[in-house]
Amino acid sequence: MRLKDLQIGTQLRLGLGLIMVLVLGLGVLSWRQADELARQTNDLFEHPLQVHRAVGRLEADVERMSRHVRELRQAQDQQGRETILHQISLGEVSAEKQLELLRDRYLGPEDDVDTLESDLLSWKVQRDETIRLMGTGGVLWAEHREGGVQAERSTAVMVSLKKIDTFADNMSNTLHRRATDKAAALQQQLFFVVGLILLLSLSVSWLLLNGIKRPLAELTATAAQLGQGNLEVRSLFASKNEVGTLSKAFNTLADSVQANATHFASAADLNATLLEELEARAFGVRVLETLMRLTASQIGAVYVLDEERGEYMPLKSIGLSGDGHSFSASAHEGEFGAALASRSIQRISDIPTDTHFTFATVSGEFRPREIVTIPLVSGKEIPAVVSLASLRDYRPAEMRFLTQVQPALTTWLNAMLSNRRIAELSAGLEAQNLELEAQKEELEAQASQLAEHNAELEIQKRQVDEANRLKSAFLSNMSHELRTPLNSVIALSSVLSRRLEMKIPDEEWSYLEVIERNGKNLLALINDVLDLSRLEAGQEDLRVERFSLRGLVGELVDMLAPIAGKKGVALDNQVPEGLIESDADKCRHILQNLIGNAVKFTDVGQVSIAATFADHAVGLTVTDTGIGIAPDKLDLIFEEFRQADDSTSRRQGGTGLGLTIARRYAHLLGGEVGVESKLGAGSTFTVRLPLTATHGAVGVPSRTRPRAKTPTPNSRRGQRLLLIEDSEPAVIQMCDILRAEGYQVEVARNGKMALEMLEHIAPEAVILDLMMPEVDGFQVLGALRAVPKTATLPVLILTAKHVTKQELSFLEGNHIHQLIRKGDVDKERLLAAVAGMVEPDEPRKPSDRRVAPTRKPRRPGKPVVLVVEDDPDNLRTAKALLEDNYVVVSAQDGQEGLEQARRHLPDVILMDLAMPVLDGFEALKALHRDETLKEIPVFAVTASAMTGDRESILAHGFDGYLSKPLDGEILKKTLAGLFTA
């Protein structure tokens, strides 16, 4: 099969799999290097160093005992003598212990230790005699012996110790030199392997990019011509993957629209180069000759499986009389039978008389003593068998060698059958290994060059860091380059679908649905692969905010309800009310994948979503009554590119990445995803997440977006929008949707043109693309906010770009209304977003409020302050700051706050914004609608610290703004300014 015919997911799996194997090999090599250096260091510590320490301690013991003997002469009483004698005994015990250590660790001649032991014993005899003489009164004779024969024995002991210590020092230098030489050799080997991995990774990346980008670019150009009215245009791309399917659907649509056109020929030269394989006979000869030489075999043969005939055919033989015979692959006959059945090396000693393994000599033919059969296993198949025979018995060392090389032979054979390039690189690696081995003897002379080599390694490290930086930039560019052309296909298909509905036959109109659906499927696949790449590169960031888990699940249920309704599957949202601080987008991705899978694999019954809040965590369960998962597949479904049903006859599609990404997102949030299932009885997926995500998180303020109204068609009439977009397909799609709803759409093809137009027109809102030539969307947004005329102009971002954490912070800091990704634009969602910009809820401006510089309380005594706050700690803090000078009334959500306000008619209200049941914005609207409450000053209390948040909050009608945590002095001055003494 040609490379371009492979599924895009298969191509990516092959490429990423190869890179992962190479990185694993690098890790194994590094581990082996570290282990070898550790062993060298241990040898240096366990032998020379221990011997040197023992010699030092023994010298100290001898000197100490000699001093005690001299002190014994000067002892005045019996107690002093016994103390000294006890110290001498302790010295003898210590010396004996050090002598045993020397005998165990000393690597030199044993005679050195024996001589030392003999000298110590002789010295001990002389010392004991001297001590005896002192005890019997012969002090003068003892002094004579102490300076004479005893001193000579002591000197002999020191000479023996010096000899052992000198040998230990020499051995220490020898071991250090060996360790240094080994470290240099291992560094050279690691340098070569890193370079090889880098070269292979770059090659694989180039092949994958070229194989995906070129057909998509061709299909995009063809679709653009069709959209311009050229009905003769056809897509010439043909393959067996997803792009080929999309191309065929496009051509079918064009053929149907142009009824009088002939069928387009699909035979096109794809200009793809097949991977050329190594010549099998050369491989067999090389392996056979090597094995025979290393095992001293006289006869050898290589047999290769002929799948058509079901037999092993002789490929090459050496020393075999006559032509080799074939063997059945299924009957397990002859010498090969046991090896094929056990899939392991077999050794036959009792050679049958009818064997075809005979050795021809001038004296006649000889039957071998032993035959060894080596099956080369590849998965479930045995593509080749190597057989060796000898006129003598094989030695155990030779059999161990064959057992060790069997996996290597299998790897070589698979590489030969896969592609010649890997075989050539392997041969090059083998040559480099031989060259490194030949240079091993020269490393000692090159010790002076180590500093230079270290500098070169540092340069290589900087190059690797630069390569990682370029890889990150490539990932970002790849995200945009892949999505942009595919978005054009989806957008134009959607436009044609609306324009040609009821104008062409239903069958032909359904082709447009096929194009749009497959385009979105391909976009989802690309998004999954890019998400997985970012996760593996550690480039995913968390944006923690407080949101309602039930609300999030409700959105997903509403989104999937039409699909479930078509299948007759009920969706049951049993998630209770509750807030969670986490990354809402990551949580949405996890739950959308789990609920979407449950709907996809359930034909009858229902899908239930439930949640339990406990122990600072929330546990969500998605239960379905679908087909279930086999027990042996439960551990596989979370692996990359693996599915419970990966057969060619499976009913459902998919890439096998969804659950992998969901689990990795859960880990990123500090949680876990698990599954329980029974085949035929449904599945239950469980997600456990912390209530507050902190692992690698970047906090963002909780936000409550005002709900957009749904305007009538008349209310849209004449409202002007400025669309800033350089992609013609996107312009066509957006104008088609918006103008049909009555909006007046002005189009700017680039950022520079948009800024010039804004000097002459005043649109109600702007729809902005981010990736444009010359002046991009970020620069346009910054220019808009820098001019007072457009500083508050609503802006909706529509882009195919992967937005980084820094870019998203810039967008939020410049108050964008919403961000919608190209490719998955939903018409209703787009219209609701646009309506939310041009016809938002009318908040009260700060200037409309009637807060006087000072204000009298409604009643005598202390003023009444209503604090509406759902966090108990914050509520307790507010009460502590206020209760000395004010009467404090509290409420824990917006609804309760309204009830307390009607009951107590407070003089001022301190209102939190993010609360359950009814948030601060909705509660403020309710207060303004109540004639008895609308005059009460309301101050917003929030932890939001984004640029422009104060202005945004005051624009909703709040009388003031207090930031958390509450500052006592600021709170006191703020409230004191409202009331007269």
Residue 15 confidence (pLDDT): 76
Q: Is the pLDDT of residue 464 over 50?
A: yes
Per-residue DSSP letter, 709: P
Please state whether beta strands 864-868 and 908-912 pair in parallel, antiparallel, or not at all (unpaired).
Answer: parallel
What is the three-class DSSP state of 927?
Answer: helix
Return d(Cα 683, Cα 702) in angstroms, integer: 34
Return d(Cα 913, Cα 936) in angstroms, integer: 17
Per-residue DSSP letter, 814: T
pLDDT tens by residue, 751-762: 899 998 988 888
Fold of 713-838: Rossmann fold (3.40.50)
Return d(Cα 498, Cα 733) in angstroms, integer: 10
- Residue 468's Cβ-side half-sphere holds a number of Cα atoms within 13 Å equal to 10
Average pLDDT, the chain: 76
Question: C-alpha angle 394/395/399, rounded to 5°?
Answer: 75
Residue 924 confidence (pLDDT): 92
Phi-psi region of 616 (alpha: psi -120 to 50; beta: other; left: phi over 0): left
Per-residue DSSP letter, 482: H
pLDDT tens by residue, 542-580: 778 888 888 889 888 888 888 888 888 899 999 988 888
Instruction: Return the CATH superfamily for domain 542-695.
Output: Histidine kinase-like ATPase, C-terminal domain (3.30.565.10)
Question: C-alpha angle 921/925/930, rounded to 5°?
Answer: 145
Residue 258 confidence (pLDDT): 60
Return d(Cα 41, Cα 35) in angstroms, integer: 10
Residue 710 confidence (pLDDT): 43
Phi-psi region of 316 (alpha: psi -120 to 50; beta: other; left: phi over 0): beta
Return d(Cα 570, Cα 605) in angstroms, integer: 7
Cα distances (angstroms) measured from residue 132 to each of 85, 139, 141, 614:
11, 10, 11, 84
Closest C-alpha to 768, from 810, 818, 720: 818
Please tell me if the domain spanning 295-418 has the same topology as the one spanning 542-695.
no
Average pLDDT (249-261) is: 64
Residue 733 confidence (pLDDT): 82
What is the three-class DSSP state of 364?
Answer: strand
Question: C-alpha angle 424/425/426, rounded to 5°?
Answer: 90
Tokens of 6: 């492979």
Residue 76 confidence (pLDDT): 67
Instruction: Return the CATH superfamily for domain 846-976.
Output: Response regulator (3.40.50.2300)
CA 584, chain centre distance (Å): 20
Residue 649 confidence (pLDDT): 33
Residue listed under structure tokens 């370029």 = 470
Return d(Cα 951, Cα 961) in angstroms, integer: 9
Return d(Cα 498, Cα 475) in angstroms, integer: 34
Q: Is the peptide bond before 706 cis (omega within 30 degrees of 0)?
A: no
Residue 906 confidence (pLDDT): 93
Q: Is the pLDDT of residue 709 over 60?
A: no
Tokens of 743: 């909006």
Residue 357 confidence (pLDDT): 63
If one compares 930 and 190, the residue with the highest pLDDT of the two is 930
Confidence category of residue 479, pLDDT binned at 50, 70, 90: low
Confidence category of residue 945, pLDDT binned at 50, 70, 90: very low
Closest C-alpha to 638, from 657, 655, 651, 619: 657
Residue 978 confidence (pLDDT): 74
Fold of 295-418: Beta-Lactamase (3.30.450)
For the chain, percent of residues with pLDDT exceeding 70:
76
Q: Is the pLDDT of residue 836 over 90?
A: no
Q: Is the pLDDT of residue 801 over 50?
A: yes
Q: Is the pLDDT of residue 540 over 50?
A: yes
Q: Is the pLDDT of residue 109 over 60?
A: yes
Residue listed under structure tokens 């059958």 = 417
Domain ranges of the chain: 3-191, 295-418, 542-695, 713-838, 846-976
Average pLDDT (137-163) is: 72
Average pLDDT (14-18) is: 79
| 3-state secondary structure labels for all residues of 539-571 | CCCEEEEEEEHHHHHHHHHHHHHHHHHHHCEEE
Residue 321 confidence (pLDDT): 67
The mean-pLDDT minimum among 103-117, 607-621, 687-701 falls in 687-701
Tokens of 70: 């001299």
Instruction: List the alpha helices (DSSP H) in 420-548.
Output: 420-438, 450-500, 506-536
Return d(Cα 955, Cα 816) in angstroms, integer: 16
Beta strands in 811-907 (DSSP E): 818-821, 864-868, 887-891
Residue 305 confidence (pLDDT): 83
Q: Is the pLDDT of residue 867 over 90?
A: yes
Average pLDDT (876-899) is: 90
pLDDT tens by residue, 333-387: 777 778 888 888 888 887 766 666 666 664 556 678 888 888 888 777 888 888 8
CA 513, chain centre distance (Å): 35
Q: Considering the domain 3-191, what is its CATH architecture?
A: Up-down Bundle (1.20)
Residue 270 confidence (pLDDT): 24
Please state whether beta strands 299-306 and 311-318 pair in parallel, antiparallel, or not at all (unpaired).
Answer: antiparallel
Return d(Cα 627, Cα 642) in angstroms, integer: 17
Write the single-letter amino acid at 478: M
Residue 587 confidence (pLDDT): 92
pLDDT tens by residue, 260-272: 433 222 223 222 3
Whole-prediction pTM: 0.35
Residue 705 confidence (pLDDT): 41
If one compares 963 and 699, the residue with the highest pLDDT of the two is 963
pLDDT tens by residue, 272-298: 322 334 565 666 677 777 788 878 888
Residue 707 confidence (pLDDT): 40
